[in-house]
Structure 1
């Protein structure tokens, strides 16, 4: 049964590995599979208990340390279960006011996915006020043209680099900007949505790069982009929603810091995980697609929609705004240490972005110097 101890040590190692305050993808990746690590650890714990052998010092150390690791994993994931206090109140039937509601559908479509009709069917079924699609290129833009008659306000950003995005809205959009916060390859949409009641809501649509060996070698730019938006939101005295594929889990250090800095709430806390990725592997799923909102919003409805051929499930959320909700819902407490950590992460991201931009500029200049590229005349 030595393999039981090996599994236990593996769970312990992954747990404490995730505590290392570094941004490299091979460290930050341990943030994602906490549910899977927890399940594996619980199995190892049971097997250690029923193992019919004398308890020697090694087994006792492994057992004790495994309990500590499982306690930490539980601390991270339990807030997204029904046993935790709800961060966002539920709107009761007698409180429903359609003119103060906004319904959102977020879907990372996976660019090569050609099952366009599946997403269109979900949009036509739920008729959300806003549809945000991610990884959409010109082909997807053409395929989604069938819904345009219902969505007079549109912000198309078709790209073929897996970071295109499209925002479709039944509600009026004002002061819309497409920003490339830290990278010329990664767009974000910033706009103001006007509810049917006339109330403006600040909306931020994001899709930063994930830390992975094929995307970004570390999480520095992803973290900085999210925290820059959070830093901007904290000074707003307006209703606000942030949504998109953040390529980070709800329980990560950065996402929790973002919530404390921005003051936004997560309707999943006290309810359920809404694991959206990977759609094809039930045993390996976590929450990458998010909807955060200001304290004046409460939850009407939230669900993960059926498979649409992508590696992500779509998410459908209905929110309602009202002063009564703002009075009974509290922001997460921000500390001076949070502010310092956020500012340091933002500065690190800005410096990294400037360094990468300079490297690209230097490479282009060197290509011209070597004659591999010829400047084009006007």
Structure 2
């Protein structure tokens, strides 16, 4: 690599590491939240190249770059470490109890994907209690209708704008409601499900819009929807889960704020990345599909499933209720609560401006 190219690339990686500290919600800032592991690997590679370069005329330049790159690498390492086996778990591992727990499958099917049989095959093979799919239009609802004989309780919201939802449940649904929290074209589902032992849990199923130029120039709507649901979960005394394609990574500032505001826990922490996107680009993968649990649950299993022809891998979880509430929670400071309220208000203002 020519020396001038190495200088430019090294400077870019440092800037890319610093940009997420800016809390502005413009898409071109928030997009740098995603590739933390990739940035760490590239910074380490740059460091190795700088070490191997032999400078005769200006040897100090090598050490300047190494000194500058090292804090960036350390910062990214500690970010990444949280989502490895050496990080601290937020949720205890417990044996899965079918009567006292729930097996959930979450997947973004990609609306243009026609591999209906792959989704049907996966569902029939693992037989989850609840299936939540997003980007489902009428073709998708019809394409996988064969699973309906095993899932008597269904909430189907087919849409052709990539924000359709399809929820299938073997367990009894006590009550449910479809809401449009931020955008009149983007639904979310709130439902109460009775487990086999008679206990009732609440599930919030969401798919907020991503901060990309083709959708939103800012992350305001995504952040607001995530935090509104987090506040709902916080005020709900029942065991609860938040599931769906959140279009945000597990280590982002917004996701961390969500955990603080909701009091919920991320089963990925202390276990692994469990990356679900992009299924077709192995070098550009990160966790966009999530299943968060309240303090009432223990984790039986968390697993990323095989591909279904989509740009996302499905993810499934087996979680059981437990008697002791030993989940590690993030605490929200006064500033955190204030910022969360501001983000929620900003999202609602944007919805009101759109009008009916």
- SS of the equivalent of 2:221 reads helix
Matches within 5 A, 1:297-376: 297-324=297-324, 326=325, 328-357=326-355
Counterpart of 2:114? 114
Could you tell me how far apart the structure 2 residues matched to 1:118 and 1:182 are? 32
Indicate yes or no: 2:8 matched with 1:6: yes
Is the 8 Å Cα contact of residues 298 and 320 (structure 1) preserved in structure 2? yes
Counterpart of 2:35? 33
Counterpart of 1:43? 45
Counterpart of 1:375? none
CA drift at 1:63: 1.8
Counterpart of 1:15? 17
- SS of the equivalent of 1:163 reads coil
Gaps of 5+ in 1: 362-378
Q: Deviations over 1:75-119 (max 9, x none)?
A: 222111011121111114xxx432011000001000110011011
Q: Which moved more, 1:15-24 or 1:53-62?
A: 53-62
Could you tell me how far apart the structure 1 residues matched to 2:241 and 2:69 are? 39
Counterpart of 2:79 (choices 73, 76, 79) is: 76
Could you tell me how far apart the structure 2 residues matched to 1:187 and 1:205 are? 9
Could you tell me how far apart the structure 1 residues matched to 2:33 and 2:327 are? 28
Could you tell me how far apart the structure 1 residues matched to 2:30 and 2:88 are? 27
Gaps of 5+ in 2: none
Is the 8 Å Cα contact of residues 7 and 41 (structure 1) preserved in structure 2? no
Q: Deviations over 1:244-263 (max 9, x none)?
A: 00000000000010001001
Could you tell me how far apart the structure 1 residues matched to 2:235 and 2:327 are? 18
Counterpart of 1:60? 63
TM-score, normalised with respect to structure 2: 0.96
CA drift at 1:219: 0.2
Counterpart of 1:234? 234
- SS of the equivalent of 1:99 reads coil
Could you tell me how far apart the structure 1 residues matched to 2:238 and 2:81 are? 31
Could you tell me how far apart the structure 1 residues matched to 2:347 and 2:273 are? 29
- SS of the equivalent of 1:18 reads helix
Could you tell me how far apart the structure 2 residues matched to 1:296 and 1:33 are? 32
Q: What is the alpha-carbon root mean square deviation over aligned residues?
A: 1.2
CA drift at 1:188: 0.3
CA drift at 1:56: 4.3
Matches within 5 A, 1:30-179: 30-53=32-55, 56-92=59-95, 96-179=96-179
Could you tell me how far apart the structure 2 residues matched to 1:229 and 1:340 are? 16
More helix by share: 1
Could you tell me how far apart the structure 2 residues matched to 1:241 and 1:59 are? 50
Counterpart of 2:215? 215
What is the total number of aligned residue pairs between the two structures?
353
TM-score, normalised with respect to structure 1: 0.91
Counterpart of 2:206? 206
Could you tell me how far apart the structure 2 residues matched to 1:10 and 1:97 are? 49
Could you tell me how far apart the structure 1 residues matched to 2:80 and 2:174 are? 38
Larger radius of gyration: 1
Is the 8 Å Cα contact of residues 154 and 169 (structure 2) preserved in structure 1? yes
- SS of the equivalent of 1:75 reads helix
Could you tell me how far apart the structure 2 residues matched to 1:356 and 1:49 are? 54
Counterpart of 1:196? 196
Could you tell me how far apart the structure 2 residues matched to 1:236 and 1:316 are? 24
